[in-house]
Amino acid sequence: MWDINSGEELAILESHSAPILTIAISSDGKTIASAGSDKTIKVWDVESRQLLRTLSGHDGWVWSVAISPDGNTLVSGGEDGTIRIWSLVSQSQ
* Residue-level pLDDT at 35: 96
Q: Is residue 36 part of a domain?
A: yes
Domain range for 37 is 20-87
Number of domains in the chain: 1
Q: Is residue 53 part of a domain?
A: yes
pLDDT band at 14 (very low <50, low <70, confident <90, very high): confident
Give 17's DSSP letter.
S
Q: Is residue 10 part of a domain?
A: no
- Tell me the pLDDT tens digit for each residue of 19-71: 889 999 999 999 999 999 999 999 999 999 999 999 999 999 999 999 999 99
What number of other Cβ atoms are within 10 A of residue 52's Cβ? 14
Q: Is residue 12 part of a domain?
A: no
Q: Which residues pair with 37 in a beta bridge?
A: none
* Residue-level pLDDT at 93: 62
* Residue-level pLDDT at 58: 95
